Structure 1
């Protein structure tokens, strides 16, 4: 029996490890979506079925295994919904594969009570560690009652419970430690991925992500025959601001400019910080007149905004904006950024705090 339970534990750990690869892009430990909760429930249900299939046959009708651990996993990481799905799948399989018997009825009832109990434990305001401890204690209680009902040989019952308690406690602890490690790994991976695409100061796309998005959007724009406009912004006299008030003040202004862009642009527009005091906005399916209107609105919102660089000091800042559009002003979509930069240079050269549209003539 010990060897069979060890095999059961190996299946559990292996399945958990493989499943991790499918959720590495999703942080399941923090507010999973409904669709992800359903996936968690189905995945844990499949694991529970697999554990039952390779379970230890105590008698011709009684099977023991670590099926409660997948229910724990689904509840601790998904809340109330996943364990319901997991329990339904496992009970359905238990009935179809092993048939109807007293042991089957007791097993199904125990599985249902496990799902309910773990679901309740999942919503209490405790750490995941505490939830694991409570779940293991509750699982042992439910399992003990089930075995007492089914097994009349008290000596054999005591031996079985001793082996099961040790096994479920060890496996649960190992799965807890392993899933915590996997959660840290997923969090670290997502943080690195986010840092690779996001500007650390403003939270906008960085220049690397801008290039990637621009290439993708350009191809799609040509394919769909739509318009694409680009705004290239530069903060006027930003070096002077840094020299006068310090780099912390400069960082504050950059973050405030980013907020103004988020609040001024449309939800579908793609905003990036391209380095230093330069920002870009990709206006998807945007006509030339609308692009100029958005650019002017940005310029005006920045101009009238009071930038607080300390509790007592506030300053006003302006931006110059170059605009290029495809098709129309720019016939080669690959030149959109360069042409917007030329328009920006012209805005700077002719006085700053203005919007200048690139003209290929």
Structure 2
């Protein structure tokens, strides 16, 4: 008994840590999981529950137990009702399919599905997570006890009491381990966000932009698609800092970042590369479409009233350089695309500012 009990528990712990690794790898925030994440998690924990059935342990000659119901308790406590129902269906169906169709298997499978419904309902109640987990475990053990007693006429009070105590102990340990894994995930995501995000504007920083540029450029080459890039620079930003102070300059940068995000397309990726320089990656945009996007943003900035903290209102303009693969660059070097946009920005600066200039086509550069 004790060997298989320990094995069953170790398998469950392994699943908890494996789920944490997957959450880190795919950057999933468990506080606001997407529908896709919930569905995948529901199927995954259903698989966990079915595997746990293979490592059941005997409490006595009549009762063979396992901790499959804790898969429901965990997912209900951390991901909510929807994936819990999926897990319940998978575990219930697995009980009937894997161990053969019989009256006993149908009762056990239906019991697991009913347990999933109860755990899903309890997950929506307010209160501390540990208390909810213990309540779910108690509800699950009540149903499991009923299922066991339906299949035998032997007195099983002490056997079921031992099973309940073991499941409570397992729930407490799993709670501690899962909270540790959750804290690790949240810390990882926070550190990743700090590493990729500009602290002032909450846009992508230079490092993240360079990674995105390389990735999108490779995708454009492989899929034979276009990739536009806009290089944005604030006109006379040094004068703003010198006249109104760096705090005012920060306000301008923050408001400009909001304008860029507002007027860029949903698929576009906006970054702050440092100082007053910003970039916009525009997938599947031709040179004219990229330039039109730049002109739209330029007008929006020109018409915007930048209000500083002391009530002063500024008019700010920007200059933009546009380049597009493969319209202006035909090499496999993503940095060449950025260089072409930089040259176009330089022309915009030198030809009066507050305008968008397009990079020249490759045949015009030769």
The two structures have a TM-score, normalised by structure 2, of 0.85
**Structure 1 segment 1-361 matched on structure 2, within 5 A:** 1-24=1-24, 25-27=26-28, 29-58=30-59, 62-96=63-97, 98=99, 104=105, 106-147=107-148, 149=150, 154=155, 157-223=156-222, 226-310=225-309, 312-327=311-326, 334-359=335-360, 360=365
Gaps of 5+ in 2: none
String of CA shifts for 1:28-68, please: whole Å, max 9, x gaps.
62233333223222222222222222212356663222221
> Where does the alignment leave 5 or more consecutive residues of structure 1 unmatched?
none
In 1, Cα distance between the equivalents of 2:79 and 2:309?
A: 44
How many residues align structurally?
A: 359
For the 8 Å contact 1:49–1:90, the answer to whether it is kept is: yes
Give RMSD over aligned pairs: 2.9
**What TM-score comes out, normalization by structure 1 length?**
0.86
In the TM superposition, residue 207 of structure 1 has moved relative to its aligned partner by 1.5
* Matches of 2:15 and 2:240, distance apart in 1: 57
Q: Which moved more, 1:323-332 or 1:269-278?
A: 323-332
Shift of 1:103: 5.2
- 16 and 285 in structure 1: CA distance in 2 versus 1, 3 angstrom threshold: closer
Q: Is the 8 A contact 2:59 2:163 kept in 1?
A: no
With over 3 angstroms needed to count, the CA separation of the structure-2 counterparts of 1:81 and 1:243, relative to structure 1, is same
CA offset at residue 11 of structure 1? 1.8
Once the two structures are TM-superposed, the CA of residue 165 in structure 1 deviates from its matched residue by 2.5
Q: Distance in 1 between matches of 2:227 and 2:303?
A: 28
Equivalent position SS for 1:23 = helix
Separation in 1, partners of 2:272, 2:124: 40
SS in 1 for 2:30: coil
Quote how far apart the aligned CAs of 1:77 are.
Answer: 3.0
Distance (Å, rounded) in 2 between the aligned partners of 1:228 and 1:7: 53
Contact 2:320 2:348 in 1 (8 A): yes
Q: Find the aligned partners of 1:192 and 1:93 in 2 and give their Cα distance.
A: 39
- State whether residues 61 and 101 of structure 1, in contact with CA within 8 Å, keep that contact through their aligned partners in structure 2: no
Q: Which moved more, 1:170-179 or 1:323-332?
A: 323-332
Instruction: Check conservation: 2:41, 2:83, Cα contact below 8 A.
Output: yes
